[in-house]
Chains A and B, each alone.
Chain A
Amino acid sequence: MSAWDWAVLASWLSFTILYGLYRSRGKQTTQSYLLAGKSMPWYAMGLSIMATQASAITFISTTGQAYVDGMRFVQFYFGLPLAMIILSMTAVPLFHRANVYTAYEFLEQRFDRRTRILVSIVFLIQRGLGAGLALYAPAVVLSVVLGWPEQVTTLFMGLLVIAYTTLGGVKAVTWSDVQQMLLIFAGLILALVLAVVRLPEEIGLLDAVALAGAAGRLNAVVTKFDWNDRYNLWSGLFGGMFLALAYFGTDQSQVQRYLTGRSIAQSRLSLLFNAMAKIPMQFFILFIGTMVFVFFVFERPPLLFQPADLKNLEREPAYSSVVRRFDEAHQVRRESARAYLEARKRHDPAGQTKALRTYRQAQASLDQARAEAARLLGAGPDTNYIFLNFVIRYMPVGVVGLIVAVIFAAAMSTISGEVNSLATVTVMDVYRPLVKSGATDSHYLWASRGATIFWGLYAVAFAGFGGRLGSLIEAVNIVGSLFYGGMLGVFVLAFFFRFVGAQGAFWGVLAGEAAIFYCWRFTSISFLWYNVIGCLVVIAVGCLLSLTRLRRSSAV
């Protein structure tokens, strides 16, 4: 990065942290620290919800996903608006009226303390893992840009987030998120414009769309149903809806955002804002990935996008044969792409078909060469490096710094929200009821700060494993899906099944989690369905146990 890029990055980091702290100034109590004194307007909560969800992973991994697999990942979000409506009608008013700090506190009011603590622990495990992954992603950025070890950059990022989250609490988190989300929107538009501008002069946007489509990269909707296919219309609508219900309805990192609302109406609007904005945003990010793909149709891409892997590959004896096949396939793909566009302009169907076949064959050869290169090294997918590679090598001075700042903004907004919620659950759902009840407000405020530091450091430690998990966006969603079905099930029982008691809820959660882990270990069912299966098992077991108890007690 040039000096200008560094200046842009440093200015942004300083501004966003200072702004968050400025907005959170004044005397703090536990309520203002954890719930912002319930004073937030809908647009700040809405942007904060989006910023917490849109991590650095969203940026660097989603674009890479579009490059290798097309746009079908967008279907993952189709169930989100439906989930937002259901939560606006149910969870938002119930949580607000119960006047709780965390979603799990509500479970004690509805069931018992044991269920509250069980679900809190499930949350702490899965969100702790998620926070580590969210921290690892920007470490990948810096390690590519600066050549620093990932551990050093993880620590640097982690300490920055710990500092402003510990000092400013949820208010600092939310107002920093607002700034960060605005920068993300600006960065997205700039990245797309520059990806198109950097195409060869004679290739316009419509030509680029035609080439991405010809390579099967514009597959935004797949209607064929398949249990084992991760992304299609049905898994997105149903599996995605359950995942979004679980994420926004039971995950404290999201629930805490809308618990800060000054009224039920403001909290509802923040969710509906997310319902409207999320799908177009994801579509836009994936579309950037497809334009990067088209850019590399004309510019030779690296055989592997992970720089360290590429260096190691050069030492392999088979390297020259793989790279020769890769270069030949790239050349054929470039020529057939031009031939395809010319045939389209001439309205020559036979020419188009011929060029299209060659183009697709060349693409398959390129993919084969890349797969073989990765196999030679035993390396994982390089999806997370594709967009970064493009930014660093082809973006103008200053813009590189801005895009890196966007990635930082996305990462920091996610990690701060997660660390803040982990601290809240630790203090409110575990420490206060089990370790020290009846202490002063200032004691819990300091305990919350201590817990924030602890979870920040935990995320730093866990981030060390991020590199072994392949595509990060998928890893995050898979980790979430292992736990969300059980959590969602217990809240569905709490909201809709009044006859279900504490026993049914507690054993229902355990049975739901057992079912999910069975599916994960012993079946090939796509992870999006885990949420549906886990939730249904919790409901079934909870209802059965409660009905059995009711029958027994009525018989007595």
Chain B
Amino acid sequence: MTKREIRSEEPPPLGGDWFTLYALVVLYLLVLIALFAWFTQANTPEATP
């Protein structure tokens, strides 16, 4: 599907357009991975001082 075809379709029921929504989902995934990486780092202590 071309970008134009997607833009011409029914917009998301919650407003905005599909590409913005997809970008938000990718951003959300990156934030989750960053949070989990921090969570791992912060809670896995080394046995050596």
Contacts and interface: CB of A to CB of B under 8 A. Distances in A.
Contact of A265 (B13, B37, B40, B47): B13
B32 A280 contact: yes
Interface string A501-524: 000000000000000000000000
B26 A264 contact: no
A283 interface: yes
B12 A213 contact: no
Nearest to A344: B45
B13 A349 contact: no
Given A220-B36, A266-B13, A269-B13, A360 B25 contact: no
A276 interface: yes
A280 B36 CA distance: 10
A170 to B, nearest CB: 22
A392 interface: no
B12 A353 contact: no
Contacts of B22: 85, 88-89, 272
Interface in B15-48: 18, 21-22, 25-26, 28-29, 32-33, 36-37, 39-40, 42-45, 47-48
Contact of A90 (B1, B18, B32, B40): B1
Nearest to A41: B13
Contacts of A279: 29, 32
Contacts of B45: 213-214, 352, 356
Given A265-B11, A265-B12, A349-B49, A89 B6 contact: yes
B10 A353 contact: no
Interface residues of B, number: 28
Interface string A355-382: 0110010000000000000000000000
A228 to B, nearest CB: 21
B25 A275 contact: yes
Interface stretch (A20-28, A49-57, A74-82, A424-432): A74-82
Contacts of B32: 279-280
Interface size class of A (residues with CB under 8 A): 35 or more
A353 B49 contact: yes
A365 to B, nearest CB: 16
A283 B22 CA distance: 22
Interface in A189-234: 209-210, 212-214, 216, 218-223, 233
A221 B18 contact: no
A268 interface: yes
Q: Among A81, A90, A233, find the residue whose CB has the most chain B CB atoms closer than 10 A.
A: A81
A252 B19 CA distance: 27
A555 interface: no
B29 to A, nearest CB: 5
A82 B36 contact: no
A283 B36 contact: yes
Given A74-B36, A90-B1, A265-B10, A272 B44 contact: no
A216 B45 CA distance: 9
B25 to A, nearest CB: 5
Contacts of B18: 88-89, 268
Interface string A244-276: 000000000000000000011110110010011
B13 A221 contact: no
A178 B6 CA distance: 29
A89 B44 contact: no
A214 B26 CA distance: 32
Contacts of A349: 49
A107 interface: no
Contacts of B42: 213
Contact of A223 (B6, B14, B37): B37
B10 A276 contact: no
A82 B33 CA distance: 13
Given A210-B43, A356-B45, A221 B37 contact: yes
A221 B33 CA distance: 8
Contacts of B11: 265
Contacts of B14: 269
Contact of A276 (B1, B25, B33, B36): B25
A84 interface: yes
A350 interface: yes
The 4 closest A-B pairs by CB, nearest first: A213-B43, A220-B36, A221-B37, A218-B43
Interface of B: 1, 6, 9-14, 18, 21-22, 25-26, 28-29, 32-33, 36-37, 39-40, 42-45, 47-49
Given A81-B26, A210-B43, 5 more contacts: A74-B36, A219-B40, A264-B9, A272-B21, A276-B28
20 contacts: A81-B25, A81-B28, A85-B22, A89-B6, A89-B18, A93-B9, A213-B43, A214-B44, A218-B40, A218-B44, A220-B39, A263-B10, A265-B11, A265-B12, A268-B18, A269-B13, A272-B22, A276-B25, A352-B49, A353-B49
